[in-house]
Amino acid sequence: MSDSAGHRHDPAPGHPRARHQGGASAASGGAWASAGTMFAGVLLLVQGVLGMLQGIVGIAEDDVYGVIGNYVFKFNTTAWGWIHLVLGLLLAVIGWGILRGASWARVAGVALASLAVIVNFVWLPYQPVWGFISIAIGVFVIWALCSTDRVPGTR
What are the backbone dihedrals phi and psi of residue 55, each rounded to the nearest 5 degrees, phi first? -65, -40
Whether 64 and 94 have beta carbons less than 8 Å apart is answered as: no
Alpha-carbon distance 144 to 142, whole Å? 6
pLDDT of amino acid 20: 46
pLDDT of amino acid 91: 95
Q: What is the mean pLDDT of each run of 10 residues along the chain (155 residues)?
A: 51 50 48 76 92 88 63 74 93 94 90 94 84 92 82 51
pLDDT of amino acid 12: 52
What does pTM read for this prediction?
0.70
Alpha-carbon distance 42 to 44, whole Å? 5
